[in-house]
Amino acid sequence: MRAKLAVLLAAGSIAIASTGARDAAASGFGRPNQIGARAIGMSGAWAAIADDPLAIYHNPAGLAQLPRTALTIDVEALYAPRYYDAKNGDPLAKPASCAADPTSNALCPRQEGKVPVPAIPALAFSTRLQGSDHLPSRFAFGAGVFLPYGGAVHFDRTKLANGMPDPAVSGVDDTQLIDVELVPAVAYEVSDALLLGAGIRVGFTIFDVKAFNKPVTADLKSNGLGISFNLGALVRLGSKVRLGVSYQAPMNLEVSGDGTIELPSGTTPVDFAANIHWPQKLMTGLAAKLGKLTISGQIDWTDWSSFQEILLELRNRNDFAFAQNFHDSIGLHCGLQYELSKKLAVRGGYTFDGNAVPDRNLERQYLDDDKHLIAVGGSYEVNHRFGIDAAFEMLLPLGARHVPDNAGDVGAGRTDLQNVNPGDHEGKLFTLALTGRVSF
């Protein structure tokens, strides 16, 4: 019974500590950037434009406006370190000696987590059927592969407590929680004013984690499949203005796997399963084309409040739930595009994204705060078949998110209410994206 409880506590405590960030500059476990250089260049204000095959993610209705078969390959390079400056009372807290001598212990400096996989690819394809008059029909089909949620981070344990297995130093050292989705989609041009689209999302989620004394030392690996859908609509409000609405349904799946935990009796192999809930999301955008200038705005709502717990189970044993209590997040995006010539266009944009993780559950792995990002980008049309897009986005360095040590307020015995990692949480985010397009 004691071994079972230790396994459950270990899996539960570390399961919630995987972070990403992504979907658009998103909170919670969302990716901290958009998908595709054109969308990134306009800071994600893309649901009302969606005029390349990556519309499968942003708004599948956009496929119906592409006149020819097209292929898009995108690569995004990320630099996204996380920093944590602990306070007293934290499991990762600085020793008292740090106040007098900042070099007295390896825990004195702030801790840095690095992204071990700095490049994220995406691939999308679309085609139009041909009508009896040899013109493109009203139907379009496509498929895409991309990573809308998740991420990975690594903390170097040799820099904690001089590399010694100090029981007072607990934490997640390595973790990745990644959602890879294959999305076949179809779109239909109902009329010149209305386009509709839908996709089937087949998600493959990977969850790996290495933790030290949280509350036991563990090395776990798991994966699982889930199915969901997305819907989209584009409405042309005259010749200059377009409204775009895109909805991603929630995806519930079970990851299962195995690993080891360290118990007093020694290294113990375990089989476990966990329920992962990717939230629903609604994106609504408006774009206006004024000559060579396009202005676009978008608001995103992500239902992170549905992420209230993680449900875990050992094989042939009872379930165990761990409260999370996330709250919904709102993202605001605005972007500009200006056509310098028939071959060259430039872009820029701004994003505000609210946080989803409460102080109680914020750990050093997260990059979650009220975030402000700016972006620039551009496109070059090599000829009528080939095009290249590039974009750069960065998180504005507006200071750390401070999480107070509330143990004195809630009571020393109320660990269920105490903030897990009080201190200053901060991160950087730089994204460089490059997209190649070819049409046939």
Q: Are 376 and 41 contacting, i.e. CB atoms less than 8 angstroms apart?
A: yes
Angle at 48 between CA 43 and CA 52, to 5 degrees: 80
pLDDT for the residue numbered 5: 42
Instruction: Write the Ramachandran bin of 340: left for phi over 0, alpha for psi from -120 to 50, otherwise beta.
Output: alpha
Contacts from 193-196 at CB under 8 Å and sequence distance 24+?
193/235, 193/236, 193/237, 194/233, 194/234, 194/235, 194/236, 195/61, 195/62, 195/64, 195/65, 195/233, 195/234, 195/235, 196/61, 196/64, 196/231, 196/232, 196/233
Distance CA 81, CA 116 (A): 10
CB-CB neighbours of 259 under 10 Å = 20
Distance CA 27, CA 25 (A): 7
In this structure, what is the dihedral angle of CA atoms 157, 160, 161, 162, given to the nearest 10 degrees? 70
Angle at 119 between CA 395 and CA 338, to 5 degrees: 55
**Among the listed residues 242, 144, 141, the one whose alpha carbon sits nearest the alpha carbon of residue 192:** 242
**Among the listed residues 43, 432, 57, 102, the one whose alpha carbon sits nearest the alpha carbon of residue 281:** 57
Q: Are 75 and 404 contacting, i.e. CB atoms less than 8 angstroms apart?
A: no
Low-confidence ranges of the chain (pLDDT < 50): 1-14, 16-25, 161-167
pLDDT for the residue numbered 132: 65
Cross-strand pairs, 320: 312
Which domains does the chain show, CATH number per domain? 2-80+113-439 (2.40.160.60)
pLDDT for the residue numbered 323: 62
Instruction: Write the Ramachandran bin of 134: left for phi over 0, alpha for psi from -120 to 50, otherwise beta.
Output: left
Q: What is the chain's Cα-based Rg?
A: 23
Q: CB-based burial of residue 126 (10 Å sphere; 0-12 exposed, 13-18 middle, 19+ buried)? A: buried
pLDDT for the residue numbered 9: 44
User: Residue 242 corresponds to which tokens in the numbers above?
Assistant: 């377009």
Q: Are 304 and 28 contacting, i.e. CB atoms less than 8 angstroms apart?
A: yes
pLDDT for the residue numbered 88: 61
**Among the listed residues 321, 306, 417, 426, the one whose alpha carbon sits nearest the alpha carbon of residue 365:** 426
Q: Does residue 121 have a cis bond before it (omega within 30 degrees)?
A: no
